[in-house]
């Protein structure tokens, strides 16, 4: 149930991005440091901003000039592949998962980052449960047991002008991972096409 709600929250956030004022959203191919700084400045007017993104997004969110790196930043990049803060703004990694045991389709689109100020009025995601949980158990003809669980839940996002979104179009929609066929030695994409030798 938790995983289903997590997936619904991610989908609701993606679909509600147009609720934001144009100044509060950026779409760029790759990481644009100046654009991210501008979004953080907007969110900072409403509270202390926090950046929420996937690991794939966070590894690209690094200041460009090498002179900015301290020894601690270099160690953090080496050990974690990303920085825990971006210019003083905390970065929270959204846990990435897969839809099933094939590990081919991701749950969260890695192209989105959300800048949400803490202490702002209201929470952007609303989750409502209705009624109790219904559990039914069946005995099948082969003497196996089947358990079905039903719970009514709704998820909606209400984004105000205190929230900002950054969309990395180079990561956007990368929901599938490469599937390696160890028998033929080829990389196979999610739709079965052969894409060359490994």
Per-residue pLDDT of the chain (198 residues; tens, 9 = 90+): 777 787 888 888 888 888 889 999 999 998 999 999 999 999 999 889 999 998 888 888 887 775 577 778 777 777 787 888 888 899 988 887 777 777 777 778 888 899 999 865 667 888 898 888 899 999 999 999 999 988 888 888 888 888 899 999 888 877 766 544 444 444 444 443 334 433
- At the top level of CATH, which class does the domain 2-126+157-197 belong to? alpha beta
**Dist. CA 38–CA 41, nearest whole Å:** 5
Query: Cα 23 to chain center, whole Å?
Result: 21
Half-sphere exposure of 174 (CA within 13 A, CB side): 16
What is the Cα 108 distance to its own chain's centre? 5
pTM over 0.85: no
How far is the CA of 46 from the CAs of 119, 133, 160, 161, in angstroms? 8, 38, 11, 9
Residue among 112, 92, 97 nearest 169 (CA): 112
How far apart, in whole angstroms, are the C-alpha atoms of residue 7 and residue 26? 23
């Amino acid at each position: 149930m938790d995983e289903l709600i997590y997936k619904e929250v991610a989908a609701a956030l993606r679909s509600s991005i147009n609720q934001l004022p144009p100044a509060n959203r950026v779409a760029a191919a790759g990481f644009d440091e100046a654009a991210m700084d501008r979004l953080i400045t907007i969110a900072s007017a409403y509270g202390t901003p926090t950046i929420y993104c996937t690991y794939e997004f966070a590894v690209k969110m690094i200041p460009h000039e090498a002179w900015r790196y301290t020894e601690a930043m270099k160690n953090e990049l080496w050990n974690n592949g990303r920085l825990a803060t971006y210019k003083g703004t905390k970065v929270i990694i959204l846990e990435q998962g897969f839809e099933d045991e094939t590990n081919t389709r991701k749950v969260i689109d890695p192209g989105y980052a959300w800048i949400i100020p803490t202490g702002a009025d209201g929470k952007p995601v609303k989750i409502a449960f209705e009624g109790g949980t219904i559990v039914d158990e069946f005995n099948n003809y082969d003497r196996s047991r089947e358990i079905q669980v039903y719970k009514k839940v709704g998820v909606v996002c209400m984004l105000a002008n205190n929230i900002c979104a950054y969309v990395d179009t180079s990561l956007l929609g990368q929901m599938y991972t490469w599937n390696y066929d160890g028998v033929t030695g080829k990389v196979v994409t999610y739709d079965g096409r052969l894409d060359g030798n490994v």
